[in-house]
Chains A and B, each alone.
Chain A
Amino acid sequence: MNKIFFSFLILSFIFATSSEAQKYFTRDGNINFISDAVLEKIEAKNTNATSVLDAETGKLEFAVLVKAFQFEKALMQEHFNENYMESSKFPKAIFKGSIDNFEALDLSKSGTYEVTVVGKLSIHGETQPIKTKGSLKIDGENILASSVFSIQVEDYGIKIPSVVKDNVAKEVEIMVDLKYQPFKR
């Protein structure tokens, strides 16, 4: 009897730890941005961001291919890649960080959780600290994540020539919206 109980205990322990060690993943994350300057509002979208969320530690990582941002106007896409982001030299933008208040969350319960994410954002070869609010929504076995934050382009070594200072904003708003699925090997 004791033996059975013991093996049951071990089994449940294994199951519990293996579900806790769950990683979540997406390759279809949406990352959009808006540059809202005096003369021009420029929007771009990227529907191929990858991200991994470790549901045990609250660590998360994002990566996005700069050349995969789509603009309405071809010329803007060209300028974005060639003049500002130098995307042939720096093809990826990467965020590595963690959920600050992760221990207070219980992702096994359905609901929406407000989170604070801290970490480092690398764009155009420059890395800067980022702290932003976001939300996690438990949706069955998936997790929906979203966040909106702003960055100063000059922090990332991106220079805007004075001729276009009314066309390209100094501060760019970034919107993250994605659906994590359990990572299955």
Chain B
Amino acid sequence: MKMTLRVILLLFLIGGIVAYLMYNKPHENIGKASVDLKITAEALFADFEADEMGANEKYLDKLIQVSGKVQDSSTDNNGITKIILESGGMFGVVCQLDELTNHERTEFDIGSSVSLKGKCTGINMDVLLVRCVEVIK
């Protein structure tokens, strides 16, 4: 009898720990995560522009490594850095740097080439990647 009670208590304890860990599970570590695909900013933008629905199926939630030329880069008052990669048109691929990562740098020269990996969230004028981390070759 005592034994059963102990087993039940133990199961509750394990259940509680599992629930607690699930509840507090950390965000994916983008720096260490391996990318699902690599593409240029131009090609990614062109895919979204040609067929948004199809591109959503292909790219949403994927960890994408995108490379291109910096069209603009800025850090706002809250410390959020965004890098816009050229697509050849007016809009581009916006990469917002991950707030949970310590970045090697947060300043990017306009016109320089850069590779970043981040989660694709879709197109809203620009194609948007969040939680980006620079891929240093």
Contact = CB atoms under 8 A, between A and B. Distances in A.
Interface of A: 27-28, 47-50, 63-68, 70, 73-75, 77, 87-88, 91-92, 185
A70 B23 contact: no
A74 B27 contact: yes
Contacts of B109: none
B23 to A, nearest CB: 6
Contact of A48 (B56, B61, B96): B96
A63 B128 CA distance: 13
Contact of B99 (A64, A70, A73, A77): A70
Given A47-B80, A73-B23, A67 B121 contact: yes
A74 B26 contact: yes
Interface residues of B, number: 27
B119 interface: yes
A27 B126 contact: yes
In the complex, the 8 A-B pairs of residues with the closest C-beta atoms, listed nearest first: A67-B121, A68-B121, A74-B27, A91-B122, A65-B121, A65-B122, A50-B125, A63-B124
A145 B131 CA distance: 26
Contacts of B110: none
Contact of A27 (B24, B25, B56, B125): B125
Given A75-B24, A75-B25, A88-B61, 9 more contacts: A48-B82, A48-B96, A49-B124, A65-B124, A67-B121, A73-B24, A77-B27, A88-B56, A91-B60
A91 B56 contact: yes
A111 to B, nearest CB: 22
B3 interface: no
